[in-house]
Amino acid sequence: MADVKRARVWISGRVQGVYFRQNTQREARRRTLRGWVRNLVDGRVEAAFEGEPGAVEAMVAWCRVGPPEAHVEDVVVEWERPEGSPTGFEVVW
């Protein structure tokens, strides 16, 4: 079995109303990652990425910039034990 890594991230700044979740989904799927992304009531975006370590690290790096309309101020990362998330990457509500 290939090495698997999991990261949970919380992104703050101007990250809601700028298609952050949709762009995160597109980027994660492009990297064949599993997981999810959602808006939080406090204005942050939260996401979980699971998959090949290099792809997870690249996704965390992408979150530090985000899509062109976003203004990322901070990204908090927690490395977690892989959960064997279901296939795919989804926007959750």
Rg of the chain, C-alpha, whole Å = 12
Name the active-site residue from 6, 8, 21, 81. 21
Please provide the DSSP assignment of 24-74 as one string. HHHHHHHTT-EEEEEE-TTS-EEEEEEESHHHHHHHHHHHTT-STT-EEEE
Contact 51/32 with Cβ under 8 angstroms? yes
Look up 23 and say whether it is catalytic.
no
Residue 21 annotated as catalytic = yes
Please tell me which residue in 23, 31, 38, 39 is annotated as part of the active site.
39
Which tokens in the block code for residue 41?
């009531």
> Known catalytic residues?
21, 39
